[in-house]
């Protein structure tokens, strides 16, 4: 009898924890943005004028870095 109560309680807690984890995963999926596709030969994760041969290491690629890279390319020409 006692073991049955303990089992039911632990199962209930496990189900509750599972539901919370599923909910958290759903929220995470909603807020995550798909990564932008970047050709590693062209872009660098560090400042491009220091070493342009380094590949993009997965950091967010935003408009500021785009402008920086464009200005760097113009300086090279």
pLDDT at 19: 75
* pLDDT, tens digit, 9 for 90 and up, residues 52-67: 444 454 455 555 667 7
Give the residue numbers spanning the domain of 28: 1-32
74 lies in the same domain as 58 = yes
Which H or E run includes 14?
helix 2-31
Residue with tokens 């220091």: 50
Instruction: Indicate if 24 and 40 belong to the same structural domain.
Output: no
In total, how many domains does the chain have? Answer: 2
Nearest residue to 43 (alpha-carbon basis) of 17, 72, 16, 7 = 72
DSSP 55: P
Residues 27 and 42 in one domain: no
- In this predicted structure, what is the pLDDT of residue 76? 72
Residues 63 and 74 in one domain: yes
Q: What would the pLDDT profile of 3-54 be if each residue is shown by its tens digit?
A: 665 556 666 777 777 777 777 777 666 666 655 555 555 555 555 555 544 4
Predicted pLDDT at 37: 57
Unique residue bearing structure tokens 């958290």 = 24
State the residue for tokens 């009898």. 1
């Amino acid at each position: 009898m006692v073991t049955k109560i303990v089992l039911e309680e632990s199962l209930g807690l496990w189900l509750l924890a599972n539901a919370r984890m599923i909910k958290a995963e759903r929220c995470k999926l909603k807020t995550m943005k798909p990564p932008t596709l970047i050709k590693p030969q062209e872009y660098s994760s560090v400042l491009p004028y220091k070493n342009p041969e380094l590949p993009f290491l997965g950091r967010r690629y935003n408009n500021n870095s785009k402008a920086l890279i464009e200005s760097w390319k113009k300086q090279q020409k």
